[in-house]
Structure 1
């Protein structure tokens, strides 16, 4: 059985129990060299008298949250509760293993001197340990007592421990133990776990073809895995069968028949862990960013420190669970990042990882009107102000180089204001006519450029419909783009891993930021986006879940519901929809907003903050939204917006402007007035 590491250990290093003291190993190495045959005899006697070290394989890879809470031990050791006795392991698997790994296991001693000498020559030519030449006993010693590093000192200790193993235990015990601890890939240690993983059956039910394929895996689990590359797995199976013929275990005809026998591979399921969608992202990031192979990952002795906030993760999972209908196939995704660093604090990719490990937080879907946060950022960068007005009515736009193309825009339910709207009103109401007009006026190419600059990596086309979010992007991309606004115009790179500890080294993430939007435009957009959660805004229905001010934008298409928003210390993007692109009902199209608000309400209580201060160079002006001009005391409805000096309105509202003072009427004017009144 694998020994579980101490769960209370808080050190960022992974320490391994050393089987013997350094002084003892020095003595056992140098005494024989100094004393020759008598020394060898003394060494064997010493190894026979000394007890074997604690039989514990390498520590598993540990994945921790930001506060040290264990998310996962990335290994499936213990998948089968008890080791399988040799009597339950098929004879064909035993023979296949012996044939391909150590044909002279039962005849030689712990070390194959011929193979060891050949390996030493190869290693000397390369200047490092590249070939092992290990017997089954040596491999078991390495798995039980040593690290996976390739050094000469470890090879010497491996050889000595192999001798000690054979002095203490019979060959059958060693072979049985080897078959129960050797690594077969994808986190499966031992033949029983491997049999369950690859063939979904107990090891004693394996046929010859399956045994030969399994026996070939320890040489390179990540290379020869039938889950990864069946062609290479079959090629390795053929090598094993050929070795079985060469060692007399099979006839050529039996080997050929086994090779032709169909192999049925089971569906692979990733081990169950906390925050499984996030953990999957963190593991993939560690593998790609730090060049950690899957084999190294599963063989252990790594510690992956992640950015996950356990409280926020629980809040995200709870918000989705409590909001989505119980008996429905509708799915949801949520991703929350720190806009200052890009650290992913919570991530949910679906309702149930075990039934559907597909990570929807990374999957592209139409963002709908949440794209307007990016659109209006581009507009403010290109001369627009919050006071710009567009008439909200059914509109057909003419566009193209020759003005020969038309695009008719509809608002939700074909409901229009039938009057000019300011940018704040258009954003709060999510007016589509205003959006398309802005897109065409600014230039779709400039909008695409702004989107990519803010963190959208998916392909976007410079069409009029770009303004309405018709080009698919992922929730993580939308969170990244809005993080640029939340971070005062600095773009961050989202990441799930802060550090990876390996034996002898620490690999750290160094997040970088880049200014891509001016602080003035970032603040203007943030202030405008607060209107979505105020009366008459599309997100006002969920404002009661919140405890402080926030900026946000809703979005809806026929098949997708979204809400993306932020506070100074957290950005959250939520998507709801069906994997099959089934149209949403009216009720379903409003599910993203309560998920977002429930989660952000918890985050606000967990992470208090002070709201933004206006960026330098901006000045507040109160305007009348009906005219877009400076408000007068007579204006009943007003809004306060921020302007770069020189772009603010300069005229007073003409509708509610006070009438000029009246002059004294002449007798003639009085008579004319009296006549008009009565006749």
Structure 2
């Protein structure tokens, strides 16, 4: 039997392993110690270097400049307001506490960077599922605002970190906070809390109450988003949040927070901005750069940027003149106009109201009922699903049954043809019975899908009233959708900015429009030819021909509250709207002013340009038809029209009452063939 080794035999092995482990730990500790020592020495040398280096001169850039489609300056984004300097010692403690609660509650406990703040922001944003809280300290924000652009690059972040350290080394905490409060942007051209207090409350910053302090402290996080004049509810909600934070931080009591929440705010009225060119378009540019491209608003306004736009200044001038001239005599009546190049989606003119100084609300983005101006989207879908220009439907009072319900539309002033009418006639006369019949025939889901493909983004419901434009959309959406039809079925998302260059000539925004085909050129062309009847005698938009005679197509739209016309040439799409802001009913004679505005503008906008007709694409065939029967016409027909069809859908039969006698059919067939090819 083999003898088992005793435990004493393993003792030397254990001792050896322990000694080896201790040796490893010693070497590791020694290495870490040297690493820490070297790191500390390098950090110390870096701090000494940064301390010895003077801070760069702050970047107080000039206002950002706007350039038109010819590369010429036509305006600036911010004239700027003189700051009202304030001393930290003179400010109410409530303002300082509110600012720290809103932006950096550990400001006096960190050295420029807050690890706790970063972790807290990550936790909040994960919990909320969106960016609710930032992680930048006040010192970091000051470094960025004083010395850097707001581009999101690693080099900028590294520079920001180094400048943050320098600020902490060169200035005391109170000095940094004072610089911050005099530098930060509070919206509407107000830089610094002194100017903001004067602008919003018409008082000195030193006299702000607790409620006012918390209110102002909430604005810099998003000056446009929390604008007191444009989004008061949002601003008050953020004020309440900051008051709760102040109570949580022990700066005020819960009772004081509650009392401040209930305090009425005596907001000063919005000051009338200085007159600038293309004001509504200017605001659109700012909004786009902030909300779509994520640029800081203060940088957009006063970052010395060169903003190249698609605006045509002569067209803009004509648009402003037309809207103001024809809505001006009627108090409270408003108008809007947007004009785009359908070949690129470039916005050439934008007017959001007749007087920017009175109202800065941009009605180009207002949601209104389009009425019959929505019908072309329906008829394009109809052409894609078997309808032709000569498809006939009875025009008479009709009650439609759908999904267990009924719907009884009516034509304007109960005017009906009381006979079958063609699609061309239905479009020209804006026949509602034809439209609803068509919608129910092709399917409401198909119509909604196509409208969204064309450029309509607003929600639409599958009800019969969809055919009559009962669901609200904006002129901006209508412009994109009509431009898709005018560009032979290719959708170009609307664009107002081509590129943005910073003061160092670096491109920070470059627009890259991605066109998408959503309809065939043949279907779009046939629809365009049908819509040309709207502007001819007998059409609802015939008044425009008194001023504008170029080849064009369009559609009017009238509701009890809105007057529209959406129309285009091969080179320019223009949407005009008139109405009242507060839901006041619009008399029919005022609704027609949209046509006057459109015609006046289009005449001026196209002056001096070549007269172009819509080119006939492949896949289209034109034939002479007998208007009475819808069949191929002969030289003997009384009422003949040359009509375009998508190839293969044109009529093949000859008008029966005009056939030649049987004695010479060959001659007659040759004559008809010759006539149809004219």
TM-score by length of 2: 0.73
Q: Cα 1:353–1:656, aligned 2, differ >3 Å: closer, same or farther? A: farther
Structure 2 residue aligned with 1:485:
485
Structure 2 residue aligned with 1:447:
447
Query: Which residues in structure 2 correspond to 1:308-347 (within 5 Å)?
Result: 308-347=311-350
CA distance in 2, matches of 1:288, 1:139: 20
Structure 2 residue aligned with 1:192:
194
Map Cα deviations across residues 372-427 of structure 1 (whole Å, 9 max, x no partner): 211211111111111222333x23244336xx654444322222333332222222
Q: Secondary structure in 2 aligned to 1:640?
A: strand
The answer to whether the Cα contact below 8 Å between 1:331 and 1:579 also exists between their aligned partners in 2 is: yes
Structure 1 residue aligned with 2:559:
557
CA distance in 2, matches of 1:285, 1:161: 33
Map Cα deviations across residues 32-56 of structure 1 (whole Å, 9 max, x no partner): 979x9xx999x79xx7xxxx98776
Map Cα deviations across residues 68-87 of structure 1 (whole Å, 9 max, x no partner): 45465444631xx574586x
Q: Secondary structure in 2 aligned to 1:587?
A: helix
Kindly state the Cα deviation for residue 623 of structure 1 after the two structures are TM-superposed: 1.4
Query: Which residues in structure 2 correspond to 1:406-417 (within 5 Å)?
Result: 406-417=406-417
Query: Which residues in structure 2 correspond to 1:535-614 (within 5 Å)?
Result: 535-605=537-607, 607-608=609-610, 610-614=612-616
Map Cα deviations across residues 230-255 of structure 1 (whole Å, 9 max, x no partner): 4544565687899998xxxxx99999
CA distance in 1, matches of 2:634, 2:143: 87
Kindly state the Cα deviation for residue 301 of structure 1 after the two structures are TM-superposed: 4.7
Query: Which residues in structure 2 correspond to 1:229-308 (within 5 Å)?
Result: 229-233=235-239, 236=242, 262=263, 264=265, 266=267, 269=270, 273-294=276-297, 296-297=299-300, 300-308=303-311
Structure 2 residue aligned with 1:631:
633
Q: Cα 1:323–1:99, aligned 2, differ >3 Å: closer, same or farther? A: closer
Structure 2 residue aligned with 1:380:
383
Select between 178-187 and 645-654 the one with higher mean Cα deviation. 178-187
Structure 2 residue aligned with 1:494:
494
The answer to whether the Cα contact below 8 Å between 1:61 and 1:75 also exists between their aligned partners in 2 is: yes
Q: Secondary structure in 1 aligned to 2:588?
A: coil
Q: Secondary structure in 1 aligned to 2:335?
A: strand
Q: Cα 1:216–1:388, aligned 2, differ >3 Å: closer, same or farther? A: closer
Kindly state the Cα deviation for residue 299 of structure 1 after the two structures are TM-superposed: 6.2
Q: Secondary structure in 1 aligned to 2:500?
A: strand
Q: Cα 1:648–1:222, aligned 2, differ >3 Å: closer, same or farther? A: closer
Alignment root-mean-square deviation, CA: 4.6
CA distance in 2, matches of 1:284, 1:624: 54
Structure 1 residue aligned with 2:516:
514
The answer to whether the Cα contact below 8 Å between 2:560 and 2:585 also exists between their aligned partners in 1 is: yes
Select between 642-651 and 55-64 the one with higher mean Cα deviation. 55-64
Would you say 1:391 and 2:390 are equivalent positions?
Answer: no
Kindly state the Cα deviation for residue 595 of structure 1 after the two structures are TM-superposed: 1.0
Structure 2 residue aligned with 1:615:
617
Q: Secondary structure in 1 aligned to 2:398?
A: strand
Q: Cα 1:442–1:296, aligned 2, differ >3 Å: closer, same or farther? A: same
CA distance in 1, matches of 2:316, 2:222: 36
Query: Which residues in structure 2 correspond to 1:1-16 (within 5 Å)?
Result: none
Kindly state the Cα deviation for residue 432 of structure 1 after the two structures are TM-superposed: 2.3
The answer to whether the Cα contact below 8 Å between 1:552 and 1:564 also exists between their aligned partners in 2 is: yes
Q: Cα 1:306–1:219, aligned 2, differ >3 Å: closer, same or farther? A: closer
Structure 2 residue aligned with 1:67:
70
Query: Which residues in structure 2 correspond to 1:48-59 (within 5 Å)?
Result: 57-59=60-62
Kindly state the Cα deviation for residue 148 of structure 1 after the two structures are TM-superposed: 6.3
Kindly state the Cα deviation for residue 259 of structure 1 after the two structures are TM-superposed: 5.9
CA distance in 1, matches of 2:415, 2:112: 84
Q: Cα 1:367–1:177, aligned 2, differ >3 Å: closer, same or farther? A: closer
Map Cα deviations across residues 483-534 of structure 1 (whole Å, 9 max, x no partner): 1211111122122222233465422121111111111111101111111122
Kindly state the Cα deviation for residue 190 of structure 1 after the two structures are TM-superposed: 2.7
Structure 2 residue aligned with 1:350:
353
The answer to whether the Cα contact below 8 Å between 1:480 and 1:493 also exists between their aligned partners in 2 is: yes
Structure 2 residue aligned with 1:22:
none
Query: Which residues in structure 2 correspond to 1:29-40 (within 5 Å)?
Result: none
User: Residue 533 of structure 1: which of 512, 521, 535 is its match?
Assistant: 535
TM-score by length of 1: 0.73
Structure 2 residue aligned with 1:368:
371
CA distance in 2, matches of 1:459, 1:235: 33
Q: Cα 1:64–1:201, aligned 2, differ >3 Å: closer, same or farther? A: farther
The answer to whether the Cα contact below 8 Å between 1:374 and 1:450 also exists between their aligned partners in 2 is: yes
Q: Secondary structure in 1 aligned to 2:450?
A: helix
The answer to whether the Cα contact below 8 Å between 1:486 and 1:568 also exists between their aligned partners in 2 is: yes
Query: Which residues in structure 2 correspond to 1:79-98 (within 5 Å)?
Result: 81=82, 83=84, 91-93=90-92
CA distance in 1, matches of 2:662, 2:257: 106
Kindly state the Cα deviation for residue 153 of structure 1 after the two structures are TM-superposed: 5.0
Structure 2 residue aligned with 1:105:
none
Kindly state the Cα deviation for residue 361 of structure 1 after the two structures are TM-superposed: 1.6
The answer to whether the Cα contact below 8 Å between 2:339 and 2:573 also exists between their aligned partners in 1 is: yes
CA distance in 2, matches of 1:476, 1:382: 28
Q: Secondary structure in 1 aligned to 2:554?
A: strand
Query: Which residues in structure 2 correspond to 1:146-165 (within 5 Å)?
Result: 151=157, 153=159
Kindly state the Cα deviation for residue 447 of structure 1 after the two structures are TM-superposed: 2.4
Select between 508-517 and 577-586 the one with higher mean Cα deviation. 577-586
The answer to whether the Cα contact below 8 Å between 2:190 and 2:199 also exists between their aligned partners in 1 is: yes
Structure 1 residue aligned with 2:675:
none
Map Cα deviations across residues 340-382 of structure 1 (whole Å, 9 max, x no partner): 2222222222223343333322222221221221121111111
CA distance in 1, matches of 2:472, 2:221: 43
Would you say 1:424 and 2:424 are equivalent positions?
Answer: yes
Q: Cα 1:68–1:161, aligned 2, differ >3 Å: closer, same or farther? A: farther
Q: Cα 1:566–1:139, aligned 2, differ >3 Å: closer, same or farther? A: closer
Q: Secondary structure in 2 aligned to 1:396?
A: coil
CA distance in 2, matches of 1:304, 1:577: 32
